[in-house]
Amino acid sequence: MKSVTKYLWFNTRNHREFINITDGVEDLVSNSGINEGFVLVSAMHITAGVYVNDAESGLIADIEEWLEKLAPYRPDYRHHATGEMNGDAHLKSLLIHHQVIVPITQGRLDLGPWQQIYYAEFDGQRRKRVILKALGE
């Protein structure tokens, strides 16, 4: 079994951003020599996430609004007693989750017709990374 690892680095301009990383993941898969297997895509930070969904701007705005309703920014999170003011970012990360596993079939990502892979940043404006790990034959 082959294993190939790559890191994608981000330093977002905004505190919150949703970045389509499908092409970066596809590049790893295409160059991996793996014909059948899986690729793990995982945010390596506790205030970010990774998800699979449609690349439609209205949906992305709806996701951001939904997350803000479920985990709004508030000054009174207990986490803020540590000196950080990002309690909502940790909760948003839990809602989105930090990783996805995508199948590789015939040397390509095997996504549905509208599916794209996104990196979701909830506490940005600093350097963070995502690990891509392809496994297979």
**pLDDT value, residue 97:** 97
CA dihedral sign, ordered 9, 13, 14, 15: positive
CA R_g for the chain:
16
* Residue 69 domain boundaries: 2-136
pLDDT at 28: 98
Q: Please, what are the averages of pLDDT over each run of 10 residues along the chain (137 residues)? A: 98 97 98 98 98 97 98 95 95 98 98 97 96 98
**Res 103: pLDDT:** 98
Residue at token pair 């996430």: 49
* Domains contained in the chain, number: 1
What interhelical angle do 57-70 and 87-96 show, nearest 10? 120
Output the domain CATH number for residue 44: 2.60.120.460
**Closest by Cα among 56, 26, 55 to 41:** 26
How many residues make up the chain in this entry?
137
One-letter identity of residue 10 = F
Q: 19 exposed, middle or buried (CB, 10 Å; 0-12, 13-18, 19+)?
A: middle
Q: How far apart are CA 134 and CA 116, in angstroms?
A: 17
For residue 120, the model assigns a pLDDT of: 98
Output the pLDDT for position 71: 98
